[in-house]
A and B are shown apart, each in its own frame.
Chain A
């Protein structure tokens, strides 16, 4: 290790990103997001993603609660939640989550309860997958920064 791993870590990051892009988990918006990160806000991406996860966690919980309720009828509320989720997902470039959310939303528009439940499951699945991936990515990033931070006196 000791600084020699920077390149390898960067390659790993890139590979991971590439695979995520390839799978359609992320799209170019994520790149845009990364571009926004500079010296003034070094942890911008991390912050945004964390916020996203927090928000989404809340939203998903709400959705689950709403759908689990037996005398459930408030599809409009589900729509609002989903709108939020779609918006934030597209903002960070979580493409797959966004896509399944859109499907979920169309199911909720049709007041299709089984469809909604299925949609929720898929969304949760995608969300967790994204979260894992992101976690991995950030860990790699951190390692890279750490590795890059190591300087040897010439």
Chain B
């Protein structure tokens, strides 16, 4: 009970879980896949967008730089041209110049310069710029620009290419990951589905009969499932780890890329800035150079000099835009010491010494305050200076340490030379001084250093104010807000000198690009860095976190799934265990029932015996009634116990079927006679019909067959009330298979039942057509087991009872389950009978089915397979009828019955006796068909067809024909029930010779016929039969037993029935006694005897008999000597203490006629003896 409870609980729970679980599992899966694809798309888009933007950004920057560069060059050319070309050319540029605001003032100066240049045109021609040269220079610049562009683009492109490759790889990786994820999801789902199915499959495999093997299997399954669970958990852990590491990798990768991008941008910007600075510087360097040439041309080349301080000032002021980086320019003359006085005199001031100490405090430096320069080899006093640096006029540049060195280097190299950065005079900014040497015009381009020094006539210096320079520059460039720039002088590697810079920005990531300011001896560097720290890389964080989240989500789902699998497996395990336990309990129950029923039977026998004993004593009517009731109840209980025992035996598989030849018709007769009492009581007509195609003898288990039939018929009787019939019919299954060619009349009627009007039943009450249940029999129609030695019978029991309610029809074969609970109240019974019958039928390789309509009746059908008996096997039980049958052989009978099917049943019974029967439907018909009346031995009239008036006509007919016929046919009335008075009344009326009470059966029929036909005297058949005393009275019986006690008991028992008993105590003595001629009618032989056992003794006796029989047959011995019998065969019955099949067969083999189990029981003794002794 508790087991089943648990089981049902579990199943229901599981069912619920699995139902909800499936739904639950599917939704997140879909969601997950959606999420995954979304994220893929997102990531891909963001990647594409970013790379495009960067490309365009960098391009724009380049273009800007180029454009500016070109612009500068162009403006420079403008200036030059405005200075040196003729007015026509100038005019052509004028418009563009005039458009520049704030420039028109300088225009006048250029004009005046133009006038002067016209005067000295001839001298200037060879050196002057010509338009073609100009064009050349322009074109070259543009060429450079053009070259620059591709060169700038090229590395970027290659970078892009590399980057693209990398990007492709990572996107590929990412996509692969997504696919892996989806694949993993699908695979896991599949695994889950498979696993949830697999236990079910496994479960089916479990065998009931092998609990041990099952247990082992279970254990194995358990361990394997546990292993699988662990394995799955590990995979999950691995997957989650993989997901986490992937997300970390993704973050790292993306972050790295971002940082790289940043660095690249920084590098690009830094390089750009450096380049621009460098270019600008170079441009202004060129300008300074140009200025130096100008000075050399117009100051030294002309006499008198075309330039004085004022002109220089003005010019430099006007061309200052071309040198945006210089804070000022100055020209110093090379004055040797020898010429100092002359020079001083010429200019009216003395050469002053530069105060190096004062350079730190430059606020108000007045050259007049400077001391005169000390005496040196040569001096470099400034003669011209831009206005911004006019304070250094007359200062000797050679006196400054930096400047001196600078000057020396400049004149030696002939190129622009830079000083290291120092604080500039006055402005107090860090700056550098660029120095150009001005040579004599005669200097060759490939002059040596000495020549250069020799040719030097002056120096042009320009001071660059670095901070303002860089600032100005950076202002022009894009994204100045984001980048911080430092410029260093790195000539002295040990100590960097910062020329420009701020403290802001992150120093950790900075880019260094070298600057080339045209002075090979000096190195400069530009350090760039971002002002702001790296912003939080959201583009890297978002997807990686997403991946992480998804990983955990998927992991969670899988974990749930795994847990579910585990729980399901556990449940399955539990269920399996419970199932095994339930099965074991079932088996135990069956065994318990079997044992208990057996144990109950024994004391029940005692109770019954005592009751019987009690009934034998002197009891008054009341006591007798009580005792009888108790006895009856006891018998019922015993039969019930027997049924339960059967059921239990079948369930525990211990029931084995016998295989002995038996006569089915005899069994059916038996059953019908057994149940006739009950049927007659209720007024139900009981009819038996066996098709002529069914062989007489079949091999099978008669007792079980009988049990089935008894059960079904008993049920039918129980559920049929006061009307109708019960009809048992047996056909070959083959007969039914092809309904169109059925020859059997009864079967035809059955099949027609319900289909058409022609169908009729035995009693006339409607019944259910059994065809419905036949159709369902598989075995009935299967042709495969068409073995020649097997016959398949189809047995049908039809009744007109209350029928089975439709809703109860499904459970009719369930043990202890009746159609409904009220049934047991109304009709009693346990409801076990049908279940047993079905199981028995199944044991006999048959099927059982039924059709039932409430209110009309039920028809139970079943098929059984029996072996075919060998043709010459005869059943001894029939022998006693043989004589009678021979008597009746060849007689003719007329059956008058208004129901064809009933008439067929009657004629079947007559056929068994060898009587051929004609059928007419009514008395009137019988009268008309005179031809049929000839040579009739008997007329059987059904009570329903009985009609006194018509019969008198018939009777007259018969009596009239008395003359023609040798004898008058005997008239029998067939009645379902008739009281004794009715019967005697009938008989005394003289019309009828005998009333036969249905059900018809062979023994009854024979008795009746014998009485009326042969003996002609009236006897009461079937009365004395059951009395053993009459059977054994005055019989000479020999008892052979070595055991004195047994002997006495057997003697006592037999004597009680009136037999004359002789006892001997050994086989040998028995042999002596049984030597013909003797007077013994039967012999009871013990099997286990010392010296000569029962088998041996019987064999000897039989040998003796055979010998003598032979002698008689050959006439050797006179028949008188053995007058009593024509042949000797004394029935020998074995007495055994325990009957088992083997001994039974052995008994038969050695010539015994039967056996009785040793403590004699009346009934057993009767059945054993009855067939030898004719009732007389």
Interface residues, chain A, with chain B CB atoms under 8 Å away? 21, 27-29, 31-38, 40-41, 44, 47-48, 51-52, 55, 80, 83-84, 86-88, 90-93
CB-defined A-B contacts under 8 Å, sample of 23: A21-B603, A21-B606, A28-B609, A29-B1159, A32-B1053, A32-B1159, A32-B1161, A33-B1052, A35-B1056, A36-B1053, A40-B1055, A41-B1052, A44-B1052, A48-B1045, A55-B1043, A83-B1088, A84-B1043, A88-B1046, A90-B1137, A90-B1158, A90-B1159, A91-B1045, A92-B1049
- Known: A33-B1049, A36-B1049, A90-B1158. Is A84-B1042 also a contact (CB below 8 A)? yes
Closest B-chain residue to A18, C-beta based? Answer: B610
| In the complex, B157 has a CB within 8 A of chain A | no
CA–CA, A8 and B638, complex, Å: 31
Q: Which of B610, B1044, B1052 contacts A88 (CB 8 A)?
A: B1044
Closest CB of chain B to A78's CB: distance in Å? 13
Q: Is B1062 an interface residue (CB 8 A)?
A: no
A4 to B449, CA, bound (A): 177
Please tell me if B616 contacts chain A, counting CB pairs below 8 Å. Answer: yes
Contact with A along B1040-1070 (1 / 0, CB 8 A): 0111111011001101100000000000000
What's the dominant secondary structure at chain A's contact region? Answer: helix
User: Do B1045 and A38 touch (CB < 8 A)?
Assistant: no
Q: Is the CB of B1055 within 8 A of A86?
A: no
Instruction: Check A87–B616 contact: CB distance below 8 A.
Output: no
The distance in angstroms between the C-alpha atoms of A37 and B1051, with both chains bound, is 11
Shortest B1091–chain A CB gap in Å is 11
The interface residues of chain A lying within 8 Å CB-to-CB of B606 are 21, 27-28, 31
Among A34, A51, A93, max chain B CB count under 10 A is at: A51
CA distance A88 to B1046 in the complex (A): 6
Q: Shortest CB–CB separation between residue B1116 and chain A, in angstroms?
A: 41
- Secondary structure of the B side of the interface? helix
Q: Mark B596-636, 1 if CB is under 8 A from A, else 0.
A: 00000011011001101100100000000000000000000
Contacts of B613 in A (CB 8 A): 31, 34-35
Q: In the bound complex, how far is the Cα of B192 from the Cα of A75, in angstroms?
A: 70
- Contact (Cβ within 8 A) B1056 A38: yes
Which A residues are in CB contact (< 8 Å) with B610?
A: 31
Contact check, A87 vs B1043: say whether CB atoms are below 8 A apart. Answer: yes
Partner of B1158, one of A21, A28, A35, A87: A87
Q: Judging by beta carbons under 8 Å apart, are B1159 and A93 in contact? A: yes
Is B1090 part of the binding interface, using a Cβ–Cβ cutoff of 8 Å?
Answer: yes
| B1045–A52 touching, CB < 8 Å | yes
Q: Which B residues lie within 8 Å of A55 (CB)?
A: 1043-1045
Q: Is B179 an interface residue (CB 8 A)?
A: no
Contacts A33-B1049, A35-B616 given; does A28 touch B1044 at CB 8 Å: no
Name the distance in Å between B236's Cβ and chain A's nearest Cβ: 64
Instruction: Identify 9 new A-B residue pairs, CB closer than 8 A, beyond the known A27-B602, A36-B1053, A92-B1049.
Output: A28-B605, A33-B1049, A35-B616, A47-B1048, A48-B1045, A52-B1044, A55-B1043, A86-B1137, A91-B1159
In this assembly, does B1160 line the interface, its C-beta being within 8 Å of a C-beta of chain A?
yes
Task: Name the A residues within 8 Å of B612 (CB-CB).
Answer: 31, 35
Interchain CA distance A49-B1160 in the complex, whole Å: 17
Contact with A91, one of B602, B616, B1158 (Cβ below 8 angstroms): B1158
Whether B1088 and A51, one on each chain, are in contact in the complex, defined by CB atoms closer than 8 angstroms, is: no
A29 contacts across to B, CB distance below 8 A = 1159
- Is A88 a contact partner of B1043 (Cβ separation < 8 A)? yes
B1086 to chain A, nearest CB (A): 8
With A86-B1137, A90-B1158 as known contacts, state yes or no: A36 contacts B1056, CB within 8 Å: yes
Q: Inside 8 A of A52's CB, which chain B residues have their CB?
A: 1044-1045
Complex contact B609–A31 (CB within 8 A): yes
Q: Render B349-377 as a binary contact track against A, CB cut-off 8 A, 1 for contact.
A: 00000000000000000000000000000
A36: B residues at CB distance < 8 A: 1049, 1052-1053, 1055-1056
Chain A residues positioned under 8 Å from B1042 (CB to CB) = 84
Complex alpha-carbon distance, A34 and B610, angstroms: 10
Closest chain A residue to B1045, Cβ basis = A88
CB distance from A25 to the nearest CB of B (A): 12
Is B1137 a contact of A51 with CB atoms below 8 Å? no
A90 to B1138, CA, bound (A): 10
Are A48 and B1052 in contact (CB-based, < 8 A)? yes
Indicate the member of A34, A35, A83, A91 with the most B CB atoms within 10 Å: A91
Chain A residues with Cβ below 8 Å from B1044 are 51-52, 55, 88
Q: Which residues of A contact B1052 (CB under 8 A)?
A: 33, 36-37, 41, 44, 48
- CB distance B1056 to A91 under 8 Å? no
Q: Which residue of chain B lies nearest to A83 when distances are taken between CB atoms in the complex? A: B1088
Shortest beta-carbon distance from B371 to chain A in Å? 150
A87 and B1046 in contact, given A27-B602, A44-B1052 (Cβ under 8 angstroms): yes
Q: Is the CB of A48 within 8 A of B1048?
A: yes
Residues of A within 8 A of B1048 (CB): 47-48, 51
A51–B1050 alpha-carbon span in the complex (Å): 14
How distant is the Cα of A89 from the Cα of B991 in the complex, in angstroms?
A: 61
User: In the assembly, what is the distance between CA of A38 and CA of B616, in Å?
Assistant: 11
Q: Which residues of chain B (1144-1163) have a CB below 8 Å from chain A?
A: 1158-1161
Q: How far, in whole Å, are A91 and B1052 apart by their CA atoms in the complex?
A: 12
- Within B372-426, the residues touching A (CB, 8 Å) are none
B514 CB to closest chain A CB (Å) equals 116
Inter-chain CA distance A21–B1158, complex, in Å, is 20
How far is A86 from B1088 in the complex, measured between Cα atoms in Å?
Answer: 11
Closest to B1046 in A: A91
A55–B1161 CA distance with the chains assembled, in angstroms:
24
* Residues from chain A with Cβ under 8 Å of B1161 in the complex: 32
What are the residues of chain A within 8 A of B1090 when measuring CB–CB? 80
Residues in B whose Cβ lies below 8 Å from that of A31: 606, 609-610, 612-613
Q: What residues of B have a CB within 8 angstroms of the CB of A90 in the complex?
A: 1137, 1158-1159
A59 CB to nearest B CB, Å: 10
CB contact between A87 and one of B603, B1053, B1088 (< 8 Å): that residue: B1088
Closest chain-B Cβ to A48's Cβ sits at a distance in Å of 5
- Distance in angstroms from B661 CB to nearest chain A CB is 31
Interface centre among B613, B1159, B1160 (most CB of A within 10 A): B1159
Q: Report the nearest B residue to A90, measured CB to CB.
A: B1137
Query: Which of chain A's residues has its CB closest to B605's CB?
Result: A28
- C-alpha gap A88/B1042 in the complex (Å): 10
- How distant is the Cα of A27 from the Cα of B1046 in the complex, in angstroms? 16
CB B831 to nearest CB in A, in angstroms, measures: 30
Task: Report how far A37 CA is from B1044 CA in the complex, Å.
Answer: 17
B605 to chain A: which residues have CB within 8 Å? 27-28
CB-contacts of B1084-1106 with A (<8 A): 1086, 1088, 1090
Q: Chain A contacts of B1160 at CB under 8 A?
A: 32
Q: How far is the CA of A32 from the CA of B1054 in the complex (A)?
A: 12
**How would residues 139 to 163 of chain B score, 1 for a CB under 8 Å from any chain A CB and 0 otherwise?**
0000000000000000000000000
Q: How far is the CA of A151 from the CA of B901 in the complex (A)?
A: 68
Would you give the shortest CB distance from B1004 to chain A, in whole angstroms? 31
Q: Which residues of B contact A47 (CB under 8 A)?
A: 1048
Residues of A within 8 A of B1043 (CB): 55, 84, 87-88, 91
Tell me if B1088 and A91 are in contact (CB < 8 A).
no
Q: Which residue of A lies closest to B1086 (CB)?
A: A87
* A93–chain B nearest beta-carbon distance, Å: 7
Shortest distance between the CB of B1017 and any CB in chain A (Å) = 33
Q: Which residues of A contact B1088 (CB under 8 A)?
A: 83, 87
B637, chain A: closest CB distance, angstroms:
15
Q: Which residue of A lies closest to B1054 (CB)?
A: A36
Measured CA separation A29–B609 after assembly (Å):
9
Which residue of B is nearest A29, CB measured? B1159
Known contacts A41-B1052, A41-B1055, A86-B1137; is A32 also within 8 Å of B1045 by CB?
no
> What residues on A are CB-neighbors of B1086 within 8 Å?
87
Contacts of A84 in B (CB 8 A): 1042-1043
Q: How far is the CA of A34 from the CA of B603 in the complex (A)?
A: 17
Write the chain B residue with the least CB distance to A32: B1159
B1168 to chain A, nearest CB (A): 16
Across the A-B interface, the 9 shortest Cβ-Cβ residue pairs: A88-B1045, A36-B1052, A31-B609, A29-B1159, A52-B1045, A91-B1046, A91-B1049, A28-B609, A87-B1043
